[in-house]
Chain A
Amino acid sequence: MKRPIVELRDIHKNFDGEQALDDLSLDIAEGEFFSLLGPSGCGKTTLLRTIAGFEQPERGTLTLDGKPMEGVQANRRPTNMVFQSYAIFPHLDVARNVGFGLRRSRLSASEKSNAVEEALQMVGLGGFGKRAAHALSGGQRQRVALARALILKPRVLLLDEPMSALDRKLRETMQDELRRLQRQVGITFILVTHDQEEALIMSDRIAVMFDGRIAQVAAPGELYLRPASRRVAQFIGMMSFLPARLRGREIEVDGFGRTDVSERQAPGGLKDGPAEVGIRPEMMSLLSEPPSQGQRAASGRVSEVTYYGDMSYYAVMLDGTDRTVTVSMKNLPGGVTAERGEAVTVSWDPGSLMIF
């Protein structure tokens, strides 16, 4: 791994006794698209603002690009921020908003206006310079905020839930565009989001945060397939949980029966006694015919069907338990479907069980 451009060590921050960041350490590599993902109130914004210089941690050190940032004010840090509200200056037109940070540069007036136009073109707003700030739509405001930050060529770009104010279609477009832009300029992006789907789509790596701490840092695929804890597993994607008992390498799962498991399926290690087993919806399927030789299957009854167009989610109450598992099935022509209340057979893959 390249030298980290952002290094956070044992960062502590509390607001009137309430712990917002708790002994948090994190390295972010140069050129990464990095996401901070967690539920609302877990401290993502506080962490981002600490990096930007708007919050001072009580303890711990922050190093940006190899330089310690203690006592360095926000205006002297090699970071720029896209605020959640976009913070477009209402008294300035688009060009002056984008060129705001160029006042201190040594560029001539014409070089500045060229740089502004270039930055506007980069975000797809070429020719918008004369537009008044209040005459912009939500998506355009976001682009202006982006151009205003990128024009200064920061080492790290900080984005605080930039997509949360946009409608779904626009959000998807902007996600694509942001990703493309990041590859194009090669700047390290740190994105704060509470939307796990957004984090999975966009990031090179994701840090999942709970209660001011980092629960796991991993690439999207690894985070999905190898969550480090039950809490992460529950937060990322969908997962069903079943009570189980472990003895050596053998586990007995309510509704599923006995199976052998391996060490790598248990992030916390294999410990004899009660445990909990998690399984993703796409690791199970509804069978139309009896299970084949060696295929593991459980029987149950459909208690809920959720239709998503291309696929459906089936909540299945397993026989002999009071637990449901959620199974996803593609809605293929002639494929298996089930109605609410129908008795079904659910096949499952022992290798995909996670043990917590």
Chain B
Amino acid sequence: MATGASRADRTRGRLLVAPPFLFALLLLAVPLTVIVLFSFWSQDFLTLDRTFTLANYREALTDPLYRQLLFRSVWIAATVTAVTVILAYPVAYFLSFHVPPASKGLWLFLITIPFWTSYLIRVFLWKVILGFNGVLNTTLETLGLIDAPLSWVLYNATSVVITLAHAFAPFAILPIFVALERIDRSLIEASRDLGESRLTTFLRVTLPLSMGGIVAAILIVFIPTVGDYITPRLVGGPDGLMIANMIQTQFLRLNNAPMGAALSVLAMLSVGFVAAIVVLGLRRVAGLGR
């Protein structure tokens, strides 16, 4: 009888997960398999050669152009992540520790306001701010602080970093905020009581206990930024282009889907690799709060 009941439970469980499972299969597993398959094929002008080959990977890993784009993507994403998380932490901390509980909801709401406009519009906005005749340059010129417009603020890696950091800030603030909210305040008092100052309490208690939120923030920012396409395209200029731009070029302009697929797989692998290091590394740090 017990087994009968548990079998019924299991059936019901399967029925419950079936729709999301099919959804995930259709939208995630199938495209992923197709991409991986493509990366081992080759393109001969207009025909697709379906014989297995590693040529795409060989080319991707030896051609300095691809390598440079891949490294730059990881590098820009890492910088964006660092900038975003370092700026997000104090905001999340302030929200959690210094905003009265009654107004926390309002503050969170204000933080999400930028999301009411589309990502594309926000990127254009930065173009307007950072451009040659943009808000930043005209303001500085009017104030007499500079003679000629600054050229290093747009169409390079810096502008990509600024734009992406802004776009992803709320994604970083929220998980850190949640982690800080979950810290039992009596732990912080206990640390003060045991002789630690505000600063050492932060380092020994608050920071290690919010590490879960930091790891989440890092992954949430890093993973999508490595493959970001719009921002480098619009504000990146030639020095700010990233791997996604090349993947797009391969697929749509050069009509070389297998090469694009190989680059996609490599980009995914590097993201996975870096993410794994971050997760394992920071877990370690969190355990060493001694």
Contact = CB atoms under 8 A, between A and B. Distances in A.
Nearest to A96: B290
B198 to A, nearest CB: 9
A91 B289 CA distance: 7
Interface string A58-95: 00000000000000011100011101110101111000
A83 B289 contact: no
Contacts of A53: 192
B189 A54 contact: yes
Q: Chain A interface: which size bin?
A: 20 to 34
A119 to B, nearest CB: 13
Interface in B168-225: 184, 186-187, 189-197, 200, 204-205, 208-209
B205 A89 contact: yes
B287 interface: yes
A74 B188 CA distance: 11
B286 interface: yes
Contacts of B186: 83-85, 87
Q: Chain B interface: which size bin?
A: 20 to 34
A83 B209 contact: no
A136 interface: no
A148 interface: yes
A52 interface: yes
A59 B69 CA distance: 66
A329 interface: no
A100 B196 CA distance: 9
B289 A87 contact: no
A80 B208 CA distance: 23
B192 A148 contact: no
Contacts of B193: 52, 54, 74-75, 79-81, 149
Contacts of A85: 184, 186
Contacts of A74: 189, 192-193
Contact of A91 (B192, B196, B208): B208
A74 to B, nearest CB: 4
A32 B183 CA distance: 34
A81 B287 contact: no
A87 B89 CA distance: 24
A181 B76 CA distance: 59
Contacts of A103: 195-196, 200, 204, 290
A83 B189 contact: yes
A104 interface: yes
B289 A89 contact: yes
A5 B268 CA distance: 66
A152 B187 CA distance: 17
B209 A90 contact: yes
Contacts of A54: 189, 192-193
A53 B194 CA distance: 12
B246 to A, nearest CB: 42
A83 B197 contact: no
Given A89-B190, A91-B209, A101 B195 contact: yes
Contacts of A149: 193-194
A52 B286 CA distance: 29
B185 to A, nearest CB: 9
Given A100-B194, A101-B195, A91 B286 contact: yes
B132 to A, nearest CB: 50
Interface in A82-130: 83-85, 87, 89-92, 96, 100-101, 103-104
A152 B195 contact: yes
Contacts of B209: 90-91
Given A91-B287, A92-B289, A92-B290, A75 B189 contact: no
A85 B192 CA distance: 16
Nearest to B286: A91
Interface string A19-54: 000000000000000000000000000000000111
A53 B204 CA distance: 20
A85 B185 CA distance: 10
Nearest to A81: B193
Nearest to B193: A81
Q: Max chain A CB contacts within 10 Å: which of B193, B196, B200, B289? A: B193
B101 to A, nearest CB: 13
B190 A83 contact: yes
Contact of A152 (B194, B287, B289): B194
B184 A87 contact: yes
Nearest to B205: A89
A152 B192 CA distance: 13
Nearest to B211: A91
Contacts of B197: 73, 75
Nearest to A73: B192
Minimum-distance CB pairs A-B, first 8: A101-B194, A87-B190, A87-B186, A74-B192, A83-B186, A81-B193, A75-B192, A75-B195
10 contacts: A52-B193, A75-B194, A85-B186, A89-B187, A89-B191, A89-B205, A91-B287, A103-B195, A103-B196, A104-B196
Interface of A: 52-54, 73-75, 79-81, 83-85, 87, 89-92, 96, 100-101, 103-104, 148-149, 152
Given A75-B195, A75-B197, A91-B286, 5 more contacts: A91-B209, A96-B290, A101-B196, A103-B200, A104-B196
